[in-house]
Structures are given as C-alpha cells and as structure tokens.
Structure 1
Amino acid sequence: MNMTEISNLLTPLNLEQSLGKINELYGKDAVFTTSFGLEDQAITHAIFKNNYSIRVVTLDTGRLFRETYELHRLTLDKYGKQIETYFPNASDLEPFLLKNGPDSFYASIEQRKECCHIRKVIPLDRALKSAKIWITGIRKEQSGTRGDMPKVELDVAKDIIKVHPILDWTWEDTWTYVRENHIPYNSLHDKGYPSIGCAPCTRTIEPGEDFRAGRWWWENENTKECGLHWVDGKLTPKKEMKA
C-alpha cells in the first residue's frame, strides 16, 4: 500500500481499530515506541490485550526515574509480553561524558540536544531499522507544535510511515481509557508530572502551565522536543506526507 492508501485507511479508525489493521497488514514489521507515559500505557494495553504481533520497544537512556522502571516491571508482570529495550551505544556515550561530564545538558541547548541524540535518537534508529510502520503516543494537545500533525505521516529523515492513533485524544480521554481498563500507570502522574522523560530533565508543572513545561524547563525555547520526532530541526510537517 502507498502512503495515501494507508492514510485513508487508518485516519478514520479508533485506537484498537487502527492497531488491528496495522497488525493485519504489517505484524512484526510495525513498531510501537513507549516511554511508559500515560498515552503509551494505553497503546501498550491495546496491543497486548489483543495479542497483536506489533513490536513494543522502549529506549532506556540510563537517566530514567525510579518510578518509570517500576512501571516497566509492573507492565511486564501484568501482560506477560516482551518489551524490547534499547540502550545508548557505549562508543557514543562514553566519549561524550568524558568530554562534557554527566550533566552538561544544563550548560547549553546544543549539549542537551546532543545528549538526547546519543541516548534516544541513535538507539531509536536501531529499533526502527527493519520496521515499516512506527506507532507513537503523540497527542495534539501535548503542545502547540503538534496541533497540525496528521494521524498518518511520513518521517522523511527515517523514511518510515508514522501513525499517531490517539492524536485527537484529550488528557481526560486518556485517563478515562486507562482507568476503565485498569491499566498500570506511572505514579509520577499523580504528583504533577504529565510528561515524563529523564529524571534530571523533568520537573512538575504548575496549574495553567503548558503540558510539556516541565521538560527541559531551564531552556527558553518554546518548542520542547528531544529530537525523536524532528526533521531538520522541526517536527515533521503535514506537507511532507507523500504518496
């Protein structure tokens, strides 16, 4: 199927319908990447509950919260399914730390993005190496830069089709699905962390703050992204979706 056909097929479908169709068409050639956030737990549940062949993958940066590791264990215990874990390459990380130290991401945006690149982007490239479809937990409501994203798009940098099956869900929609299905979630969500990444780079948010205000809060940039969903310095735009 070409890009347009896939988009036309998946765009009107809900979460479980989208995943079911992806599983039917691609099976193990589809990869879902989870960071164990609330959105990701909802999608993981839908994949595991239906015994889909879609691979579930996570990136362990080495700097995650203790609570995130606890949730990883709880998720394995509940579903009895495999979650593939990818780590940074020692050959990339060790020279970076030797030169810059463990917390250089506070020093400049450039060093923070390099840290994210080593700990997330390079491992992600390995995880997606043989994949044909990349499923994410992105929601439009998470930030203003995601407001015009399509449900199905082409990541031109990685040359892979991306599907965001809960793109139009609200935060309340996500909580409703998690609670109704008794899905384990990160206890940090109950402590003011709506968006959870690496421990040194995530703080709680105050009432009225942007959903991702707690990520890299010391930076003045309006866009808070780690690089996983960026092409040439910006989020993959809708216009780049090609047949």
Structure 2
Amino acid sequence: MAALNNVAQISGIDPAERLIALRQTVPGRIVFTTSFGIEDQALSHLIFERRLDIEVVTLDTGRLFPSTYKLWAETEERYGVRIRSYHPEQAALAAQVADAGINGFYYSKEARLGCCHVRKVEPLGRALDGARAWVTGLRADQSGQRGGVDLATWDAERALVKVAPLFDWSRDRVVRFVRSEGVPINPLHAQGFLSIGCEPCTRALKPGEPERAGRWWWETDKAKECGLHVVAGGRLARDREAA
C-alpha cells in the first residue's frame, strides 16, 4: 500500500519519468503486458530505450492479426529483446472450443467472455504471478468505461499496484510521440483499427464511432471489456478506494 501512495504522487511528470519512478519505488518484479497497440508500443519504446528493469510480456491468444505477429517480430528486432509470451492452457482451450464452437463468441456473450477468459484472463494470471506492479497502456479517454482511469490504483484481486503511465494522454499525443520517435506500429491503425485485439473480434471504425467501438462490435453493451481490467460484476478495476 505504501508503494501505491508513493506512485500516486508522481502524476505531474511524463511517462518515462513515471516508469523510472515506479521502478525506484516498487521493489520486486514489475510486469508490463503489451498487446502491441499504439499505446503499448510507446511504453515498450520507453522501457527498452532506457533499459528499465520492467518485464515486457504479451498474451498470445492464437487469434491475433498477422500484422500483430509481424509487429511483434519487428519490435524484438528493433530493440534487441525477446518479449515473453503466455498462451492459453491447451486443455481449457480445447474444452471451451468443444463447448461453444470455434467462433461461438458471435452468438453468446457468455461464450465470448468464456473465450476471453481462456485466451486472456487466465494467461494474465500466470504472467502476473509474483509481480508487485502491473504496467498497462490504459488511457482515460479510450472510452466512457475507462474515464476514471488514474495513474496508479490498487488491484485487490491480484494484490499489486496497477499503473497506467499514459492515463492522461490523448490518442493524438500518443500518435505524435510514436511518429517523432520512429516507433514501429501496426499498419492496421492507419486503416481505421484504433483498438486492435483478436482478428475475429476486431473491425475498423466507422466515421464518428468512439475508439473502442470496433471491439466485439456485435454486442450491444456500451461497456465492452475482455476481463483483463474488470473485477467481479464487470466493473472496471480502477477505484482508488479499493486500497
């Protein structure tokens, strides 16, 4: 809890300084989970360029876009690193597909959440096992559901500090940053895919749509999350008072 209070005091500086201060403040393992979206690429650049002792990992669902896998390889080559991947448990994935079908998520929200759990949430648990802090690419203006995102919160379910160094940045600011730094990004962003997840669950945005409208577009709920950033009941895990 003391680490949370200390990290919460650094919100007035830039993301690089926030990451450095996080590393200096929180002892033990710090994990950054990247999905290779534009925000995650910006944070990876800051971590790799400064050689920060922050472990960068990804959740390979097995249903990502080919361009995402290509960007993964390009990122490793650019920075001379290896990004560790966590995959779904084979038996759980086989059972989920046998029950719902390979694309059953289109027909049932329960099946969609089940798929997200097997392919993302459970592997995330393994990725964060033993970590003291979790770095994410969340921004407060990504959606109404994420409007309350703060720099640092306490994730009570995982018993760690959750940090969003870009929480107060706009998408335009992120775009300007990656362009100025020459950070490799997914070419799908230029084709209207502002938020990129699994290939069958992501489409390009239509004019005037909010940033995350292309994720699970067939669902009518406004609050659409895969489960990585929510607690029981579907509420986004962002409340400072949870500490």
> With structure 2 as the length reference, what TM-score do the two structures score?
0.96
d(CA) in 2 for partners of 1:164 and 1:22? 11
Superposed CA deviations along residues 142-163 of structure 1, whole A, max 9, x for unmatched, are: 1001112221101122121100
2:201 equivalent to 1:222: no
Superposed CA deviations along residues 75-106 of structure 1, whole A, max 9, x for unmatched, are: 00000112110000002101111222100101
Aligned residues: 242
Deviating more after overlay: 19-28 vs 32-41: 19-28
**C-alpha RMSD of matched pairs (Å):** 1.4
2:78 equivalent to 1:78: yes
d(CA) in 2 for partners of 1:4 and 1:56? 21
Q: Secondary structure at the match of 1:234?
A: coil
Partner residue in 2 for 1:65:
65
Change (3 A) 1:182 1:161: same
C-alpha deviation, 1:27, in angstroms: 6.6
Superposed CA deviations along residues 106-155 of structure 1, whole A, max 9, x for unmatched, are: 11111100100000000000000010000000001110011122211011
d(CA) in 2 for partners of 1:83 and 1:25? 24
Give 1:104-143 correspondences, 5 Å limit.
104-143=104-143
Change (3 A) 1:105 1:67: same
Superposed CA deviations along residues 167-211 of structure 1, whole A, max 9, x for unmatched, are: 111111000110010000001001110000000000000121010
Change (3 A) 1:4 1:63: closer
> With structure 1 as the length reference, what TM-score do the two structures score?
0.96
Partner residue in 1 for 2:208:
208
On the 8 A contact 1:27/1:53 being kept in 2, the answer is: no
On the 8 A contact 1:60/1:85 being kept in 2, the answer is: yes
**Which amino acid in 1 is paired with 2:79?**
Y
Change (3 A) 1:66 1:4: closer
Q: Secondary structure at the match of 2:95?
A: helix
Change (3 A) 1:198 1:52: same
Give ranges in structure 2 of 5+ residues lacking alignment.
none
Q: Secondary structure at the match of 1:58?
A: strand
Q: Percent identity?
A: 44
Q: Which runs of 4+ in 1 moved over 4 A?
A: none
On the 8 A contact 2:4/2:154 being kept in 1, the answer is: no
**Which amino acid in 2 is paired with 1:155?**
D
**Which amino acid in 2 is paired with 1:72?**
W
Give ranges in structure 1 of 5+ residues lacking alignment.
none
Partner residue in 1 for 2:144:
144
Q: Secondary structure at the match of 1:120?
A: helix
On the 8 A contact 1:140/1:149 being kept in 2, the answer is: yes
d(CA) in 1 for partners of 2:102 and 2:215? 18
d(CA) in 2 for partners of 1:198 and 1:55? 23
Give 1:11-90 correspondences, 5 Å limit.
11-26=11-26, 29-90=29-90
d(CA) in 1 for partners of 2:123 and 2:150? 25
d(CA) in 2 for partners of 1:120 and 1:189? 22
Partner residue in 1 for 2:236:
235
